[in-house]
Amino acid sequence: MKIFYSETHRKHDPPFEVFDGGLRVPYLENPDRMDRILNALRATAWAEFSEPTDFGLDPLLAIHDKEYLAFLASCWTEWLATNPQDPSVFLPATFALRHQPKKPKSLLGRGGYYIMDLSACITAGTYAAARASANCALSAAEAVSNGERSAFALCRPPGHHAGKDYAGGYCFINNAAAAAHRLSSSGNVGLLDIDYHCGNGTQDIFYSRDNVMTISIHADPDFEYPSFYGHASERGRGRGFGFHHNFPLPKGITDADYIETLERALEILRNYNPKALVVSAGMDIYTDDPLGAINVTTEGIREIGRRIAGLALPTVIVMEGGYNNEALGVNVTAFLGEFQ
């Protein structure tokens, strides 16, 4: 399997994030995640590593707002120019209510307009890392377009919480959406998100489109992040109505429960009959993940991979979440191994 990976992700390494209640904690979406996955992949006989191609801005402008990308590019330089008391990260303190959409001119105001929470910390290397991450996904899409049956984009930072014009949940550029949009030039695309959290950014980007069928299986937003997206009633808009599906899950479900829901999602994809598939592969569905509350085992993750591979579609697999670093490499290789 071709695996696209860039060391540029190490430039994004915030020293902390802010949890509920204002608690500063070490940043869970850290470079060690990639090291654990790399070590596990290098121990296999099938991993073939490649540097990503730089596709420039055009593929990103197809899914993201131009001014939002400009904010990501300039934010850090602007922040340092203000001589902040704590120059380690940029985080706004006031967040926009999007039914009042006027965008402020100040940097902190724009930060609150373009960032939805306190985990999307911007540092000196964030934009470069996010661009490289997107290029990994675009390179995997190109490989599949050129005849590979599957390819893995080992992306960091992840992307599925990044909407058209906002960052959140460790995500700045939507890697899976970039891959899906690229593939959609050759026919309809299915995008299946199995991360523990709702792929709200992906939903936002494709909500009015019918050439990318988006499906997200995730913890119910009534009790889990991102709280305001991911309900079963959200079905798309305009031409996209009926082409988005959310499957919110209760706490504590097991492998069997998850597989039952997955089969419902796969049937929708079979009926849609896409030319290619993108999978947002979050390993935070694992039973011992510090950010999760469902009980999918490593064997369950392997079975999820087997069922998805059974669609026999050209498939781009994009790394999303997963924060139990001890188990992360094992879980990723268990999933990917089913696509060999």
Tell me if 52 sits within 8 A of 136, measured CB to CB: yes
Give the rounded distance of the alpha carbon of 332 from its chain centre: 15
Tell me if 230 sits within 8 A of 207, measured CB to CB: no
Q: Which of 185, 206, 228, 224 minimizes the C-alpha distance to 280?
A: 206
Residue 51, token pair as written in the block = 């540097």
Residue 210, token pair as written in the block = 């019918």
Q: From CA 265, how far away is CA 244, in angstroms rounded? A: 11
Query: For residue 131, what are the CA distances in angstroms to 25, 28, 127, 266, 278?
Result: 26, 20, 6, 31, 19
Q: From CA 279, how far away is CA 88, in angstroms rounded? A: 33
Q: Which of 32, 69, 337, 317 minimizes the C-alpha distance to 191?
A: 317
Tell me if 334 sits within 8 A of 298, measured CB to CB: yes
What are 213's strand-pairing partners? Answer: 190
Give the rounded distance of the alpha carbon of 199 from its chain centre: 7
What are 24's strand-pairing partners? Answer: 18
DSSP string, 141-159: HHHHHTT-SEEEE--SS--
Number of H helices, E strands in the chain: 10, 10
- Which residues participate in catalysis according to the annotation? 161
